[in-house]
C-alpha cells in the first residue's frame, strides 16, 4: 500500500475546502471507521462534492492520469445506480468551445451496476480510467466504467479539478463512507516524475 501523503481532518481548514458546498457535511462514522460518513437526511437535492485535486498551478493533462479512486463503501444499496457516488474530472478553460462557465469540459465516471456486484457496507476500492497501482490491503476493486462527457473528450486538455460526488437525485437515506481519496499520475512537464495522491480522511 502506498504511503499516505495528504490527510484532511473534519473541522480543519483543509477539510472545509475539500468538502466545499456539500450538504449535509460529512460526519464521523458511527460504526467506528476512521473516515467520513455522508448520509442524505432530507428530501431534495442534497449531495456531497469532495474536491481532492486542484491543478491551478500545474499542467497535468488527462493523459497523465493513470487512475482515480476512493477507498470506502456504499452504505445504503438497493441496486439503484444513483446511490453510488461518481468521479468527475474538470478541465481548464481554453477560451474556445468551453462547455461551462468555469470549465472547458466535464467528464463523469459512474458505476455500471449490471456488470459490477455491490454489497452494502463492503469496503472496496472504486476507481476509473485504469487499475490503481496499489492493492490497499486486498480491498475488492470495482471500476466505474461509464463515462458521461459534457464538452469534448480530449486527453490533451489540462485537468482543473478532480472530485468525488454523490447523485442529488438519490433518495433520502443514501449513504457513502469514504476513507481515502487518490489518484496515480505519470510524470508530466519537467518538474515531476510518476506520483500519486493518497489522501486519508480523518474524523
Mean pLDDT (whole number) for 156-168: 98
- Tell me the per-residue pLDDT of 48-68, one tens digit each, with 9 for 90 and over: 999 999 999 999 999 999 999
- Domain assignment of residue 54, yes or no: yes
Residue 2, pLDDT score: 57
Other beta carbons less than 10 A from residue 140's beta carbon: 13
Confidence of residue 91 (pLDDT cuts 50, 70, 90): very high
pLDDT tops 80 at residue 110: yes
Question: Is residue 103 assigned to a domain?
Answer: yes
92-104 mean pLDDT: 97
Q: Which domain holds residue 84?
A: 6-25+46-149+166-202
Residues 20-32 pLDDT 10s: 999 999 999 999 9
Q: Does a structural domain hold residue 38?
A: no
What pLDDT is recorded for position 192?
73
* 31 assigned to some structural domain: no
Residue 188: predicted pLDDT:
77
Q: How far apart are CA 122 and CA 25, in angstroms?
A: 22
Q: 13 lies in a domain? A: yes
Let me know the angle formed at the C-alpha of 109 by 108 and 114, rounded to the nearest 5 degrees: 135
Residue 139 included in any domain: yes
pLDDT at 39 over 70: yes
pTM of the model: 0.94
Q: Looking at residue 4, what is its pLDDT?
A: 80
- Indicate the number of domains in the chain: 1
Residue 40: inside a domain: no
Tell me the average pLDDT across 150-171: 97
Backbone angles phi, psi at 115, to 5 degrees: -115, 0
Residue 194 pLDDT class (50, 70, 90 cuts) = confident
Closest CA to 201 of 180, 170, 171, 186: 180
In a domain, 35, yes or no: no
Alpha-carbon gap, residue 180 to 182, rounded angstroms = 7
Rg (CA), the chain: 16
Per-residue pLDDT at 169 exceeds 70: yes
Please determine, for residue 1, whether its predicted confidence score (pLDDT) is greater than 70: no
Amino acid at each position: 500500500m502506498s504511503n499516505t501523503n495528504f490527510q484532511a481532518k473534519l473541522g480543519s481548514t483543509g477539510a472545509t475546502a475539500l468538502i466545499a458546498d456539500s450538504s449535509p457535511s460529512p460526519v464521523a462514522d458511527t460504526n467506528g471507521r476512521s473516515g467520513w460518513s455522508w448520509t442524505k437526511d432530507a428530501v431534495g437535492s442534497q449531495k456531497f462534492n469532495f474536491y481532492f485535486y486542484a491543478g491551478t498551478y500545474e499542467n497535468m493533462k488527462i493523459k497523465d492520469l493513470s487512475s482515480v479512486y476512493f477507498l470506502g463503501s456504499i452504505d445504503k444499496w438497493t441496486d439503484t445506480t444513483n446511490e453510488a457516488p461518481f468521479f468527475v474530472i474538470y478541465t481548464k478553460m481554453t477560451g474556445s468551445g468551453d462547455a461551462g462557465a468555469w470549465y472547458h469540459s466535464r467528464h463523469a465516471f459512474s458505476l455500471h451496476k449490471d456488470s459490477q456486484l455491490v454489497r452494502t457496507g463492503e469496503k472496496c476500492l472504486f476507481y476509473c480510467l485504469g487499475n490503481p497501482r496499489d492493492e490497499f490491503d486486498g480491498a475488492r476493486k470495482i471500476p466505474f466504467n461509464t463515462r458521461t462527457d459534457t464538452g469534448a473528450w480530449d486527453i490533451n486538455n489540462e485537468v482543473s479539478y478532480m472530485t468525488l460526488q454523490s447523485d442529488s437525485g438519490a433518495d433520502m437515506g443514501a449513504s457513502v463512507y469514504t476513507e481515502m481519496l487518490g489518484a496515480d499520475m505519470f510524470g508530466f512537464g519537467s518538474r515531476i516524475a510518476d506520483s500519486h495522491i493518497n489522501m486519508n480522511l480523518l474524523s
